[in-house]
Structure 1
Amino acid sequence: MKIDVRHIAKLAKLRIPDEKLGQMEKELSSIVAMVEKLPELTGSTNLLDPNNTMELRKDEIVPSMPREDILKNAPKAAAGCFIVPKTVE
């Protein structure tokens, strides 16, 4: 199977240098080959564990701490919000 690495990189908005294209194509081909070898799932019973149904708990409204008490511990706060250093330019 031929994989168009340039097209995939364009869709993912990635810049891949020309000298890395061959390596990327080989790696992507091996990933696709591995996925193609995975067995097919037959029916929905394979996806569920009957011993662990993972039922969701009901949402309940419970009292929380007052905002003022929480903001007392913050180094900087304004307008009821935490002030944090800018991390992205």
Structure 2
Amino acid sequence: MEIDVRHIARLAKLDIPEEELPRMEQELSSIVSMVEKLPELASKESLLDPENTMELRPDVVQPSFPRDEMLKNAPDTAAGCLMVPKVVE
């Protein structure tokens, strides 16, 4: 299977050095071939084991670090929240 590592890197906004491309292509090809060998699941029910009913821990409220103390080193805050630059138009 031919994998276009440059295209994937561009989509992921990764800067992969030219000398790393052959190794990355080989690694991605081995990952894809491993996934292709995984067996198909007959149905979603096969994911559940009725004998093993995952017991969840109780949700206990515990004291945490004060918000004001956490935000005092943040570059920009408003209304107790971190402010970050807009990245999506």
User: Does TM, normalized by the shorter one, top 0.5?
Assistant: yes
What letter is aligned with 2:5? Answer: V
Q: Which has the larger radius of gyration?
A: 1
* Aligned-residue RMSD, C-alpha: 3.6
Distance 2:72 2:37 in 1: 48
**TM-score normalised per structure 2:** 0.63
Q: Which residue of 2 aligns with 1:2?
A: 2
Distance 1:49 1:18 in 2: 47
Query: Structure 1 11/52 Cα, relative in aligned 2: closer, same or farther at 3 Å?
Result: same
- Unaligned 5+ residue runs, structure 2? 76-89
**TM-score normalised per structure 1:** 0.63
SS at match of 2:16: coil
CA apart distance, 1:83: 4.2
Q: Which residue of 2 aligns with 1:16?
A: 16
Query: Structure 1 64/2 Cα, relative in aligned 2: closer, same or farther at 3 Å?
Result: closer
SS at match of 1:42: coil
Aligned length: 75
